[in-house]
Amino acid sequence: MKTENLGELDTSALWLWRIESQEMEGLWEFLLKLLSVWLIIGITLIMLPAMFGVSLGITELYMKILVKTLEWATRKIQKRAQEQPGCHYSPSNEIIEKRDKVSLEEEMTELRRYSNRNRPLHEGDFDMSDVIYFSKKGLEAIVEDEVTTRFSSEELVLWNLLTRTNRNFQHISVRLTILWGLGVGFRYGVLLPLRITLGLIGISWLVIGTTFVGQLPNSRENKPKRGGICVANHTSPIDVVILANDGGYAMVGQVHGGLMGIIQRSMVKACPHVWFERSEMKDRHLVLKRLSDHIADKTKLPILIFPEGTCINNTSVMMFKKGSFEVGGTIYPVAIKYDPQFGDAFWNSSKYGMVSYLLQMMTSWAIVCNVWYLPPMTRQEDEDAVQFANRVKAAIAQQGGLVDLAWDGALKRAKVKDSMKEQQQKSYSNMIFGNESS
């Protein structure tokens, strides 16, 4: 009897195992079919038309639907704010106000005018109102200075149904919440798998294609512009991809490992990019020498450089390092401005790793970017490299509608240099005692 029961148990276990095996096979078949669908959609509807510069109208239709949806959500939020007396909708304590550029002398003179109404103001006098200026600047630096805010995600006037902006968003209505839920499902269930598939295809295509091109003889024809350097403001690592859609560039940067290292080694097989080891980046003369040699060779592609040295949050342009402007040749300025309504392209490398950043990018609604190619600029006889860099930076900021800041982007991770503190002290000293002070 026990033997018969054991036989029945073995038969039942075998039967269950067959059912589970069939279910697993069915699951794998479903996943393979789903992957095939993604590949067909990605290659036939997206990659092939993009390769031949043909638009099927899918992107335009998607953007129109998305704009209408976000406009409806905006009206819903505004209507709710109007219905509640005394309730003013404020995204993340309001957008950071762009402060007017007022010099130390102008602002302090204005303070003195109000504090010395009954007696004339003489140069060289110290007044207690001077303390108000420095106290005000100190409080601004503690609460919210204009440098630190450039390394945080740009805040929007209204919520765009994403979670990376307007962190203080509160429940408005059931329909808006349902719409947000559907959006999450669409972004993670449709856009994310599709973009991962396209990313894998693109990287594989890059590695295979550049390896093949690298095997071609050196007599192959290139179509570079005249020797020069293309400089642009920097918001995201995909700035390179955006600009590469319009032409080929030689990249300059530090040697990386991992996935970035694979891409770098593949790229250098097809084009002579300028990659530096970490120790070499500290040797300024070596960097300038290699850049000069590259642009002197008219058969090489123009160099693409981001003189800020770090990513800024799409609102401003910070100090351009002068090294790129000491090399010589023609500078081709480019202004890049992303539309934050559809997704935040800024990479806060201090907060997000590359994988987290790519996940946020691939789950955004879309990446919409405006690019302006400015007229070429050359260094004038009466200006040094710093002045030339500031002139190019000002042109990019004006064209892109960005705030032109003199601060160094290295303040993202470093302290303020003593020379900058001494410059403020010297300006105040000159105003009090005249130009005789040292």
Q: What is the pLDDT of residue 430?
A: 77
Residue 428 pLDDT more than 70?
yes
Rounded mean pLDDT of 23-52?
A: 75
Based on its alpha-carbon atoms, the radius of gyration of the chain, rounded to whole angstroms, reads: 29
Sort residue 84 into left (φ over 0), alpha (ψ -120 to 50) or beta.
beta
> For a pLDDT cut of 90, what percent of the chain falls above it?
11
Residue 98 pLDDT more than 50?
no
- Nearest to 390, CA basis, from 325, 337, 314, 306: 325
Q: What is the pLDDT of residue 293?
A: 85
Sort residue 368 into left (φ over 0), alpha (ψ -120 to 50) or beta.
beta
**Which pTM does this prediction carry?**
0.62
**Pick from 32-36, 69-73, 362-366: least confident:** 32-36
16 vs 28, more confident: 28
Residue 167 pLDDT more than 60?
no
Q: What is the pLDDT of residue 224?
A: 38
Q: What is the pLDDT of residue 389?
A: 93
CA distance 338 to 369: 4
Domain boundaries, the chain: 184-412
Q: What is the pLDDT of residue 31?
A: 73
**Pick from 218-222, 285-289, 298-302, 312-316: least confident:** 218-222
Pairing relation of β-strands 316-317 and 369-373?
unpaired
pLDDT in tens, 224-277: 365 778 999 999 988 988 888 887 888 887 777 777 788 888 888 777 888 887
> Can you read off the two tokens belonging to residue 140?
């601004």
- Nearest to 343, CA basis, from 358, 355, 353, 328: 358
Q: What is the pLDDT of residue 160?
A: 79
Q: What is the pLDDT of residue 92?
A: 41
Rounded mean pLDDT of 279-299?
A: 79
Max CA-CA distance within the chain?
A: 118
